[in-house]
Amino acid sequence: MGRVGLERVKSGIKGLDELIGGGFPLGSTVLLSGGSGTGKTIFGLTYLYEGARRQNEPGLYITTEGNLKNLLWMMEVFGWDIKPLQESNLLKIYKLNLHTFEDVDRQIEEELKVIARLVKDMGCRRLVVDSTTALGVWITEKGRMRHLVYTFTDALKDLGCTTILIAETKGRKTDFSAFGIEEFISDVVISLYFTPPNRSIFVRKMRGTNHSKTVHPFTISDLGIEVKPKDEIMWEALK
Ligand SMILES: Nc1ncnc2c1ncn2[C@@H]1O[C@H](COP(=O)(O)OP(=O)(O)OP(=O)(O)O)[C@@H](O)[C@H]1O
Ligand SMILES: [Mg+2]
């Protein structure tokens, strides 16, 4: 099992660490959930980019997104120069390689091996999976799908990284994952909301530590993502 201790890993998200006692607990699994377009991918990329750039901590981005150009383009808009980080093995993007509907379990097992090797080779400390929800497209039977998501995310806990699992929800304020499994696997649950024109963030749970219990606004601009820890949004204002 991943070690969850008092030592903290800086999130790299402006304004967030003061809401969560200095950062994510070292070795924890963090579920980042939200509806479409709430900023999950930007959050995940920022966590790795800032970790690589400022903390010198290697990070691996595991994506189910077919088109890697979207990610690169996003980072370009923010003016990030990721080439040197990639060249020095501080940042890697890996596209999850699932390609047939048959034998998904075996494919997942193979992918876990590839990921474990990448983590070892680059001395990876930070991991992002974007998204666990997309794993669902490969299996129609609900029980098997839950089992697959469980197997995959649970295995990642053994890799010794501080991991963000991204889950896409329908966007309602009490939705935290697509399969109802990810929040139990996770030590920390953070939700992002977009109630036009306001974006907000809520720390739903953090095992064994104190955290802000209110909803806080955040912004996304060309400067990236920024949480406003001093400002609050009423829970009732969310849908
Ligand atoms: N440079 C920018 N300036 C302002 N807003 C931006 C910028 N880049 C992205 N956004 C906003 O962030 C949103 C997308 O964020 P992101 O892709 O991280 O969301 P997501 O939760 O990952 O979405 P999905 O569920 O579709 O993957 C965009 O829809 C846009 O509103
Ligand atoms: Mg996304």
How confident is the model over 13-61, as pLDDT tens digits? 999 999 999 999 999 999 999 999 999 999 999 999 999 999 999 999 9
The residue-averaged pLDDT of 95-109 equals 85
Query: What structural domains does the chain harbor?
Result: 8-237 (3.40.50.300)
If you measure from the C-alpha of residue 153 to the centroid of ligand 1, how many angstroms do you get, rounded to a whole number?
25
pTM: predicted TM-score of the whole model, two decimal places = 0.95
Instruction: Please answer whether residues 2 and 29 qualify as being in contact, where contact means their C-beta atoms are separated by less than 8 angstroms.
Output: yes
Instruction: Name 163's bridge partners.
Output: 29, 127
> How far is the centre of ligand 2, averaged over its atoms, from the C-alpha of 80 (Å)?
18
Find out whether the beta carbon of 221 lies less than 6 Å from any atom of ligand 1. Answer: yes
Q: Is the CB of 182 under 6 A from ligand 1?
A: no
Over residues 168-179, the pLDDT tens digits come to: 999 999 999 888
**CA distance readout (Å), 84 to 45, 91, 92:** 16, 9, 11
pLDDT tier for residue 140 given thresholds of 50, 70 and 90: confident
* Nearby residues for ligand 2 (ion, Cβ within 5 Å): 40-41
Say if ligand 1 is within 6 A of residue 224 CB.
no
Mutate to test the pocket of ligand 1, among 42, 75, 165 (most ligand atoms within 8 A of CB): 42
